[in-house]
Structure formats: C-alpha cells, structure tokens
Amino acid sequence: MIILGIDTSCDDTCIAILEIENCKFKILSNIVSSQVKLHAKYGGVYPMLAKREHQKNLPIVLKETAKKINLSKIDYIAVTFGPGLEPCLWAGINFAQELSEKLKKPIIPINHIEGHIVANWLSPINEKPETRNPKPEIKFPAICLVVSGGHTEIILMKDIGKYTPGDILPSFKYKLIGGTRDDAAGECFDKVARILGLGYPGGPAIAEFAQRWKSEARNPKSQIKLPRPMINQKNYDFSFSGLKTAVLYQVKSTGSKAKNKKYIEEMCAETQQAIIDVLIHKTIKAAKDYRVKLIILGGGVAANEELRKQLRERIKKGIPNTKYLIPDTKYCTDNAAMIAAVAGLNPAKPIKNLKEIKADGNLQI
C-alpha cells in the first residue's frame, strides 16, 4: 500500500509518500517547506499569511514529491484535518480534495496529534540514543507525552486505533488525561525567547543558550529561581503562562543586567529546566498511576535533548521496567510522513463525500 500524506497544520508545508507493508514503513519522499524565516520577524505565526504560503507552496512541493514516484500508483491520500490553525488546515484539505478528484483516490482524514505519536514508528530510538530499533517492542497500556508549540498533552494509549467500516473518523483507543490550561510548553519557550530578545522559534534558541550556561558555569545550580506551575497538583494538567510571566517580571526587575549574555544564558537554563521538571513529573506520575508498560514522547519539543535525556534518566531510576520510546529528531517537528503512517496503521474505507471533511482547529484525540 502506498499513501501520500499532507500536513499544513501550522507553518510547514509538508507532503510525503510512504510505502507500507505489514506495518513496516518505507519513506519514498518526505518534503517539508518551512516558513520560519517569513514569520520570524513577527515573533510568531500569522495564520492568514501562513495559509497563503501553503497555497503557493503545495503545488511546488507536490511536483518535487512526484519526482520520486508516479502519483497514479498511490492508494490513499492522508491529510491532517485538525488540530491546528484552521486557515492552514483548510489549505491542506482543499488541496487534498482537488488531488483526490484528479487522481480518483480516496482521502483519509488524520488527527495531527496521533501523527506525533506514530512518528515513533518511523525511525524509533530505543533507550540508548545511539541504538536504532526498527522493530520497537510495543506493549500497552502506554502514556504518550505530546509536547509542541500548540499542545502539551498526556494521553493514555490502550492500543493502535482501528477504523470502523463506514465511519469517516477512526475509533481510536486513546484517552486524553491531561492537557495545558493556557500556554503550551512550546508556546512558553517562544514567549520567553521574545522577552529575552532571542527571536523565533524560541525552543532551539533557549536550548542553545541553556547548554552554553551549563557547560561554562562554575556553579551548576542557577541563582535564578522560577516557579514550577501545577507540579504538586494531583491532576495531569499543565499551565505555563505563569512561568512566562515570572520570567517577564524578573527581567524587568533586573534592569540593564538583563542584557548581559551570562544572565540570558542562565535564564534560559532555568526556564528550560522549569518546563522539563513539570513535564517529567506529570508524565512519571501518570505512568505510575496507570501502571503503564511504555512511555512515548512526541511533538516538536520532543527534539529537546535535555528533555529526552532527563526523562530517560527518571524512567530508569523510578520505573525501570517501563519501556521508553522517542522519535528521531527529524520526525519530531511537523511532517507528512507521520500523517501517512497513521493512515497506514488505520486503513479506511474510501470516503465518497469529500465535503464531509471539515477543518477542526481544536480537535482532540
């Protein structure tokens, strides 16, 4: 089976082609056209501007994709219909519908969040980061921590979802048990980076400055103290807006010192650690409470090396019998290979009425 995937959930225009046999994936093409430089001057993504760029880039990316394989050979078109920025989602959906009618191929609507989870199946890394495991040992139940610019969620995963014949949407075996009440972790990184004058996107910049401080500081303990919001609450929810506000107040109270390179590096290190502490504490708590056999990490923030390393260490120390699965960093950020992979794990009946596919910016898993 060959599936063409399309993802335009935010500011990356993504098209990929996967060949799938017995749940084994062969990526024939995986192209991502980034708009980061375009939106960087605004400090964030402007939805309508991103939509226009998607409309311009989709035919170009498809043409490049078609160099790898004759499009008439594909069996399905998988497209993200949510969650995400609705103008951007509609750009991908409309393009997929036009392509479906032209090629006479059925469409499978895909939840973007499940894409981030299934990204672990594309090129997974086992407990040791240098060891690739093309056939990871998957045992359920599992806890999935999905962390990105728009989402911070803990999901209980009971099994790979299956489509019910005749249904347009899949019957996933997932349960959302925790989420962010305001800013997502990635959004907090972006806002703190803006406060510190580090530009957009914030996550990679903060990680880089934090690493500099960690490698250069004589005292590994930061003298800057930031809150760990909701860390001691019994639920699995998150809140990062207060952390961003705490950074803002500290920077304002510091005055001219806030422009000092060492101060910025230390603030980045403390901000990153505060976010990581909360993410790991809530994830380990959920894993223990639900007695899971596997912890899965996904989303753009999952590329953060400190998060990957520290979560691995906490699992090994606190729940050593629990497996840990993290995706290759190149599949952490938005891509269409993960969208096609979801469709490959959940083969659906052809969708006859393409107008039934509606963008849902607030779609939950």
Of 362, 361, 358, give the one whose Cα is nearest residue 50: 361
Residue 201 has pLDDT above 50, yes or no: yes
What pLDDT was estimated at residue 281? Answer: 97
- CB count, 10 Å around CB of 22? 4
**Predicted local confidence at residue 352, as pLDDT:** 58
Task: Supply the pLDDT for residue 130.
Answer: 37
Q: What pLDDT, on a 0 to 100 scale, did the predictor assign at position 165?
A: 44
Give the pLDDT of residue 44: 79
- Express each pLDDT in 28-55 by its tens digit: 999 999 988 888 777 778 889 999 999 9
138 vs 199: CA distance, rounded Å:
39
State the pLDDT confidence band at 21, using cuts at 50, 70 and 90: confident
pLDDT at 131: 37
**pLDDT level of residue 255 (50, 70, 90 thresholds):** confident
Q: 111-136: b or e for each residue (b if 16 or more CB lie within 10 Å)?
A: bbbbbbbbbbbbbbbeeeeeeeeeeb
* Confidence band for 320, pLDDT divided at 50, 70 and 90: very high
**Dist CA 213 CA 21 (whole Å):** 47
Structure confidence at residue 349 (pLDDT): 54
Percentage of the chain modeled with pLDDT above 70: 88
Phi, psi angle pair for 255, to nearest 5°: 70, -135
User: Domain coordinates of the chain in residue numbers?
Assistant: 1-122+329-365, 124-327
Average pLDDT of the chain to the nearest whole number:
88
* % pLDDT > 90, the chain: 70
* Angle between helix 261-289 and 202-216 (nearest 10): 110
State the distance between the two ends of the chain, measured CA to CA, in whole angstroms: 25
Q: What pLDDT score does 243 carry?
A: 97
Ramachandran angles phi, psi of 11, nearest 5°: -110, 10
Does residue 268 surpass a pLDDT of 80?
Answer: yes
pLDDT in tens, 275-301: 999 999 999 999 999 999 999 999 999
pLDDT tens, position by position, 96-146: 999 999 999 999 999 999 999 999 988 754 434 433 344 455 778 999 999
347 pLDDT above the threshold of 70: no
Buried b (16+ CB within 10 A) or exposed e, 286-318: bbeebebbbbbbbbbbbbbebbbebbbebbeee
Q: Return the half-sphere exposure (C-beta side, CA atoms, 13 A cut-off) of residue 42.
A: 11
Higher-pLDDT residue of 256 and 13 is 13
pLDDT at 90 over 80: yes
- Residue with tokens 């920025």, as numbered in its chain: 85
Which pLDDT score is estimated for 23?
A: 67
Give the separation between CA 40 and CA 340, rounded to whole angstroms: 29
Predicted confidence at residue 141, as pLDDT, reads 92
Q: Report the C-alpha gap between 144 and 184 in whole angstroms.
A: 16
Contact predicate 65/4, CB 8 Å: yes
pLDDT at 132: 39
Same fold yes or no, 1-122+329-365 and 124-327: yes
Is the pLDDT reported for residue 316 higher than 50? yes
Q: CB neighbours of 310 closer than 8 A, spacing ≥ 6?
A: 276, 280
| Residues 1-122+329-365, CATH architecture | 2-Layer Sandwich (3.30)
CATH architecture of 124-327: 2-Layer Sandwich (3.30)
Mean predicted confidence (pLDDT) in 1-28 = 91
Let me know: does 299 contact 327? Beta carbons within 8 Å.
Answer: no
- Give pLDDT, residue 259: 79
Q: What's the CA gap between 197 and 200, in Å, rounded? A: 9
- Quick: pLDDT tens for 134-183: 445 577 899 999 999 889 999 999 876 554 444 444 455 889 999 999 99
